[in-house]
Chain A
């Protein structure tokens, strides 16, 4: 660990430190397969405070909570996300219980995690616009996007759409509605993604201006 202390732009850890494996099942897998021998003498980074070995732990949800968080208020962010999932569950349960036929009931997904995954998947953009200057004119050029950035944009747009609301509506409620809409390929965020795709398609002639 660095002796200079914390620094904003540099990691505390040397490059050879590996990510921690904090989930019980993964640890058991390592022992079974014998992979543990490879990493038994390698220094390991400390797990973050919100990386738990709980059954309910999810990496995507952890990231999402961090994006919801403002001013470092992790507790509040976590409560909001949990309330959002509760609202999703309640809405879906109501739909499930009021739907007349068993066929319709089958199509209703009540697990809020699955709804969350579907929503993020449906909001992921395929490529992004990057401003490139040629001959004094700045063109918006369609450029490929990495998986990580695509994921980030999807979650960020969902949260932004949920923040754009009336005063009387609470954030978890609005976010629950956004997640439900996005999971069924409807709503503002999916529309925003499609608008981006349309713009990229319109600007496809400028794709040659890329340099990598």
Chain B
């Protein structure tokens, strides 16, 4: 009779072979033993993955404005409030974009209210100055 092959034993490249060496049908032993797969060290940079949200600004204001225009048969004089709120929303979003760009370009420390616009770029700039 040929010896039964224990799957996983010949794959030397795999790191978690301890799990595969046991019988897969046996229940898991709690607590699970910790395995250090990556070095336990923080990186000197932040990833920008979660940042690129589709933050489409002013959709709510636009919808409100459209509803008002529809009601008033596209007579702008009756919708001045909604129109001004939409325009001010757009202006503030443009200013925020500008402020973010300025912050990325600037060299000095990030003061109080400016920290709102800090993206991964700016944080990485600061971290690069003081690497661990």
Contacts and interface: CB of A to CB of B under 8 A. Distances in A.
Interface of A: 126-127, 142, 144, 146, 194, 197-198, 200-201, 204, 207-208, 210-212
Nearest to B55: A212
B48 to A, nearest CB: 16
A200 B90 contact: no
Contacts, number: 38
Contacts of A126: 65, 76, 83, 86-87
19 contacts: A126-B83, A126-B86, A127-B62, A144-B58, A144-B86, A146-B94, A194-B74, A197-B74, A198-B74, A201-B66, A204-B62, A204-B66, A207-B56, A207-B59, A207-B62, A207-B63, A208-B56, A210-B56, A212-B97
Contact of B57 (A200, A201, A212): A212
Interface residues of B, number: 19
B54 interface: yes
In terms of DSSP, what is the predominant structure of the interface of chain B?
A: helix
B69 interface: yes
Task: Give the 4 A-B CB pairs with smallest separation, nearest first.
Answer: A144-B90, A201-B66, A210-B56, A194-B74
B59 A208 contact: yes
A211 B54 contact: yes
A209 to B, nearest CB: 9
Interface in B49-74: 54, 56-59, 62-63, 65-66, 69-70, 74
A172 to B, nearest CB: 28
A208 B54 CA distance: 9
Contacts of B90: 144
B53 to A, nearest CB: 10
